[in-house]
Amino acid sequence: MLVNNAGVSGGMAQPSQVDLDRLRMVFETNVFGIVNVTNAMLPLLRRSGAAVVVNVSSEVGSLTNASDPESPLAGMPPSGAYVPSKTAVNSLTVQYAKELRADGILVNAVNPGYCATDLNNHQGFLDAAEGASVAVRYATIGADGPTGGFFGAGGPLPW
């Protein structure tokens, strides 16, 4: 099993004000890091009898929620780096799931929820162990589990 959990926020600059070097740094960690680590691990994952890849994303990366003015996330300020990077993570998850399905490798994205971590100056209302529970659940699913999905503690989330 592989859990891709590295992530940085890069601040919350609006798209029209985001610094391109900061944007590159966020995508380098949050998106390119997943590609780099996953591709490096694929030979081992392919030899496994029940390989699983879990990409830690965020509900803020949901295009459905971002475009819905009634969504609980509608009040968030626009983000030019972190939010688009998590949308890219969600898309990569689907693409890896499509590619690796024939190899029997399950690939899903999870949203740990708003956890009190260094990423947000410990502002979240869940502790790290509570947030990790959804990643652990999907990292330990059986071979008949879902692939290409986006999940939170309560189940499937909208893309």
Nearest Cα to Cα of residue 76 among 57, 61, 55: 61
- Write out the two tokens for 111: 């949203």
Identify whether the C-beta of residue 151 lies closer than 8 Å to the C-beta of residue 110: yes
* Pairing, β 106-110 against β 155-156: unpaired
Identify whether the C-beta of residue 93 lies closer than 8 Å to the C-beta of residue 148: yes
The verdict on whether 138 is a catalytic residue reads: no
| Domain membership of residue 146 as a residue range | 2-156
Per the residue annotation, which of 82, 96, 114, 138 is the catalytic one?
82
Q: Is 31 left (phi over 0), alpha (psi -120 to 50) or beta?
A: alpha
Beta strands in the chain (DSSP E): 2-4, 52-56, 106-110, 150-152, 155-156
Q: Max CA-CA distance within the chain?
A: 47
- The number of folded domains in the chain is 1
Q: In this structure, what CATH number is given to the domain that contains residue 33?
A: 3.40.50.720
- The per-residue pLDDT for 76 is 87
- The per-residue pLDDT for 11 is 84
* Pairing, β 155-156 against β 150-152: antiparallel
- The per-residue pLDDT for 116 is 53
Give me the tens of pLDDT residue by residue for the chain, a chain 159 residues long.
999 998 898 888 999 999 999 999 999 999 999 999 999 999 999 999 899 999 999 999 999 999 999 998 888 899 999 999 999 999 999 999 999 999 999 999 999 865 556 665 657 565 677 767 899 999 999 999 999 999 998 899 999
- The per-residue pLDDT for 88 is 98
